[in-house]
Structure 1
Amino acid sequence: MAPHPLIETFRAARIVPVVRTSTAARAATAVEWLRDAGITIFEITLTIPDALSVIRDVASDPKLLVGAGTVPNATAAEDCISAGSRFIVSPWVDPALAAPCQSSGACLMMGAFTPTEVRAARAGGADVVKIFPASSAGGPSHIKSLRAVFPEIAFCPTGGVDARNAGEYIAAGAAFVGIGGKLVDEKAIAAGDREAVQAAAREALGIMQA
């Protein structure tokens, strides 16, 4: 299977913020503040109420690349793609997600933990394998071990990844990383602390570009 063209975009960015908030308004605020800090890729999780509206708004900006996270099934994937998602992320292996992604050209990331699950994700049509939860799986050393067995696979560790350890995951063989609560801090968003959120974004971007 030829690599999906978006993988090089993800590799260049190195970071995909995972936006998971309790309201659509806070998700929109997170995207706005992170965008102003220089981030251009966003994973909007379907755990957000009215997540599709957030995806549509982000997709309306041609400078931004938006995807949907925690996508539970093929129907939800189709809805997200119709709303403008260019990549679909699931924390587990579900081969049914492959058809809507392949027909639309969307990049598919499926979650895995073990070598057996990594193999199943690829066999099921995943372009990228999301290692989740990465920190409890063994951190960068787990990625290094998987990379030795699957050198051709683009891995994206998520779960416990932050600006301080993201570089270690990249060095261990990750193609890029997903960062959630450490970057999209809902408490700071709720408090209106734009500077705290943007400082975290600048720190992440600075460390990853160093």
Structure 2
Amino acid sequence: MTDNFASVLAETRLLPVLSVPSAATAGPLAEALAAGGARCAEVTLRTPDAEEVLRTMAAHGGLTVGAGTVLTPEQAERAVAAGARFVVSPGFDPDVVEKCRELRVPVVPGVATATELMRALRAGLDTVKLFPAETLGGPAALRALAAPFPGMRFVPTGGITADRVPAYLGVPAVLAVGGSWMATADHLERGDYAEIQRLTALAVARSVT
């Protein structure tokens, strides 16, 4: 984890998580997020156009854009070639972590157990994604899991809605909260970029108070 990426996350303490079905929406989406005050975004590799979306959003310049749902070293390599400045995985895979080290990009692997946290520590990581956060028990579970690992920082993601963000941010170990409520598939289908900007601005305002 580079200091620069950590500082970008710490600015707004929010990580919009995006599953974008069409590359045509990537430019307006990046503009709406940036106008709403977002400073970074995760483009999940769950759609056919994901790499092109990543390339377009990375070229916007107003956001630090990374790739999510990265499952293999090959995906990590393609994502970085498309402009990803960081990599997020749903679980801990040592080969993905090693590939990101080779590529010199920050990697945030997902964890759900103390065992996975210990593996992340052994790999030299200090930031992980708690996933799926709400299903695992929310902020209470996060506090309990973080307690034996005082140096670890968390980016909880998975099922988190706007009204749950303050509870997560109230946990000292949380660096930022990830979620898709700011730009849902429905917003993108309707082309409702004004609403994306509004929801992003509201989330940013709540996260920095």
Same fold per superposition (TM over 0.5): yes
Q: Is the 8 Å Cα contact of residues 93 and 124 (structure 1) preserved in structure 2?
A: no
Q: CA deviation at 1:11?
A: 1.8
Higher relative contact order (CA 8 A, sep 6+): 2
Counterpart for residue 141 of structure 1: 140
Distance 1:125 1:19 in 2: 28
One-letter amino acid of the counterpart of residue 176, structure 1: A
Q: Is the 8 Å Cα contact of residues 15 and 177 (structure 1) preserved in structure 2?
A: yes
Distance 1:84 1:179 in 2: 21
Gaps of 5+ in 2: none
One-letter amino acid of the counterpart of residue 176, structure 2: F
Query: Cα gap change, 1:27/1:119 in structure 2, threshold over 3 Å: closer, same or farther?
Result: farther
Q: Which aligned segments of 4 or more residues in structure 1 are displaced greater than 4 angstroms?
A: none
The answer to whether 1:196 aligns with 2:195 is yes
Distance 2:157 2:25 in 1: 21
Q: TM-score, normalization: structure 2?
A: 0.91
Q: CA deviation at 1:112?
A: 0.8
Counterpart for residue 178 of structure 1: 178
Counterpart for residue 72 of structure 1: 71
Query: Cα gap change, 1:9/1:35 in structure 2, threshold over 3 Å: closer, same or farther?
Result: closer
Moved more, 189-198 or 112-121: 189-198
RMSD: 1.7
> Residues 146-168 of structure 1: CA distance to partner in whole angstroms, max 9, x if unpaired?
22111101111001223222121
Q: Is the 8 Å Cα contact of residues 163 and 203 (structure 1) preserved in structure 2?
A: no
Counterpart for residue 207 of structure 2: 208
Query: Cα gap change, 1:62/1:22 in structure 2, threshold over 3 Å: closer, same or farther?
Result: closer
One-letter amino acid of the counterpart of residue 4, structure 1: T
Q: Would you say how many aligned residue pairs link Structure 1 and Structure 2?
A: 207
Q: TM-score, normalization: structure 1?
A: 0.91
Between the two proteins, what is the percent identity of the paired residues?
Answer: 33
Counterpart for residue 162 of structure 1: 161
Q: Is the 8 Å Cα contact of residues 9 and 176 (structure 2) preserved in structure 1?
A: yes
Alignment partner of 1:4 out of 2, 5, 17 = 2
Counterpart for residue 33 of structure 2: 34
